[in-house]
Chain A
């Protein structure tokens, strides 16, 4: 186990680190909530709006098929949103802190 964290405890008080922690937590929690809403919205529709699923939207393609594909794509897109944010914002904040850290 590396001892690097112990040599850098002063960074814990660094406003940049505090900012990084709160932003990362907020972003993760918000995306988790969105995922929960998307999936449990789907589950609740299954339970209470059964007939809706067979209604035809484009030709014979039903609401249920489109919704299923939609939830799958939404899950993937959410991971994409996170990667995008992390690559643009989070990595830059991490890099600044790692520069301040002693090896």
Chain B
């Protein structure tokens, strides 16, 4: 093995070893449902800010955006901006009411004054689909990445996927939210630290003068590509409102003691993530100038740049950090999916909210195993899919199915059970349906034209359906609510207000 592999493998084992030790410690404190799902509400705003950043900064955004900037220039940078703008929205509209009204999942908020069983069924469906799509994208990314990073170890794709699946299950099963949170925090520090060092090394090459770096980037790369404004706006909507609908992000708000800490955590998270994205596109431009991008895989821009600037040891370190990043993100996703399965579907729908503490924790663990096995299987089945559109799809589903239902339930008195259910279902069906009919899938993955004949044109013109599916979900929710008035829910909205705005009676 070369020195880079040694460094990568030893850093990787150091990370896995320390996170497993952490899981062992957390396991002793994970006995109740509140401890399993919400880390006993013991996480501070600052810690949760880092953990949110850890959940959000996936390997796809680190390696993917750096690679995109390195090859396409400014178009990659647009993604880094888009991924950040959801955070202020999350803060202004969702964070505090979510924390004040809910217990473990965002479905708690929607179900608060409405008929819990249909609501939880629909919300769990939205959550689980979002999580599974995102998880599949991460698993496929993980498998591919391990092959690239550890090329000389001859790891097979399937082994990488199974390995990631097992580690993720161990963290969540034994350590619950506490272990998952600390895995995110460690990973966030490693990733931000590693990216910072890389940027310092790039700037050192240019005598710490950014102008000298940008001077070597071609003018064409500094311009945005010629994409239609509709495409950009639609993707922008998905990114902006999707963040406030991602179950693994929303769930984090229950780990802090109150609304004040929830809001503080968004502030820290936005700062860390914004800083990270500025680093990421700088790395991309650095790679465009210093690395021969034609000879390498797009996703390897950042690690290859590390090799050029810091030798094999730094390449190994950065590879291990990228792998730790994937592991942490999938653990967060698995926990969110397991909560939807166990807290929303099993306890909320099947047991009608009547389950003992012991039963709740046990079901949560069964949910985790189910999710883990599903993720590994999906990772294997979708091995050859394009990861980028799956991430876009996850954001579109979150923005169309989860976000409208959540927002309307918090702000609108006349919202009803059937309004919420139909809005979620409409958002789900439209976002998934239009992606299938759109240019990334129709004619590419399905309905592919036979060789030699012209390609089948997509039925829906945009790559991202958000511009249609988000407004549709709101309109359906509003119309159905007006058709099915619910005086009881309207009366409860008044009680709810004390809790939403002043935290009176919050859990």
Contacts and interface: CB of A to CB of B under 8 A. Distances in A.
A and B from one assembly?
yes
Contact of B211 (A8, A40, A58): A58
Given A76-B270, A79-B267, A91-B260, A51 B498 contact: no
A2 B507 CA distance: 7
A43 B236 contact: yes
Task: Give the top 5 A-B pairs by smallest Cβ distance, nearest first.
Answer: A59-B211, A4-B505, A60-B215, A47-B229, A2-B505
Interface string A50-90: 11011000111110110011011101101110110011000
A60 B214 contact: yes
A24 B498 CA distance: 13
A20 B501 contact: yes
B281 interface: yes
Interface residues on B, range: 35 or more
A13 B86 CA distance: 34
B229 A43 contact: yes
B312 interface: no
Interface residues on A, range: 35 or more
Given A64-B224, A72-B277, A8 B78 contact: no
Contact of B503 (A11, A31, A59, A98): A98
B219 A54 contact: yes
Contacts of A80: 267
B402 to A, nearest CB: 18
Contact of A75 (B85, B264, B505, B506): B85
B232 A62 contact: no
B274 interface: yes
Contacts of B236: 39-40, 43
A91 B266 CA distance: 17
Interface in B454-507: 494-499, 501-507
Contacts of A48: 229
* Chain A interface helix/strand/loop/mixed: helix
Contacts of B233: 40, 43
Nearest to B82: A39
A24 B501 contact: yes
A43 B220 CA distance: 18
Given A32-B93, A60-B211, 10 more contacts: A3-B505, A5-B499, A28-B92, A31-B92, A35-B85, A40-B236, A43-B232, A50-B224, A73-B274, A82-B92
Contacts of B211: 58-61
Given A39-B236, A79-B91, A98-B504, A8 B229 contact: no
Contacts of B266: 79
Contacts of A24: 501
B280 to A, nearest CB: 11
B51 interface: no
A62 B211 CA distance: 9
B52 to A, nearest CB: 12
Contacts, number: 164
A9 B498 CA distance: 8
B505 A5 contact: yes
B92 A71 contact: no
A24 B222 CA distance: 41
Contact of A5 (B78, B228, B232, B496): B496
A21 B500 CA distance: 9
Nearest to B496: A5
Contact of A53 (B223, B227, B232, B278): B223
A80 to B, nearest CB: 6
B88 interface: yes
A94 B260 CA distance: 11
A51 to B, nearest CB: 7
Nearest to A35: B88
Interface in A7-47: 8-9, 11-12, 17, 20-21, 24, 28-29, 31-32, 35, 38-40, 42-44, 46-47
Contacts of B220: 54
Given A35-B85, A53-B224, A5 B495 contact: yes
Given A35-B92, A79-B88, A71 B81 contact: yes
A68 B281 contact: yes
28 contacts: A1-B507, A4-B504, A5-B496, A12-B494, A17-B502, A20-B501, A29-B92, A38-B85, A40-B233, A43-B233, A46-B78, A46-B232, A47-B227, A59-B211, A60-B211, A60-B214, A61-B214, A64-B77, A64-B222, A75-B84, A79-B91, A79-B267, A79-B271, A80-B267, A86-B260, A94-B503, A101-B498, A101-B504
A75 B84 CA distance: 7
Contacts of B85: 35, 38-39, 71, 75
A68 B81 contact: yes
Contact of A69 (B229, B278, B503, B506): B278
B222 A62 contact: yes
B504 A97 contact: yes
A30 to B, nearest CB: 9
A17 B504 CA distance: 12
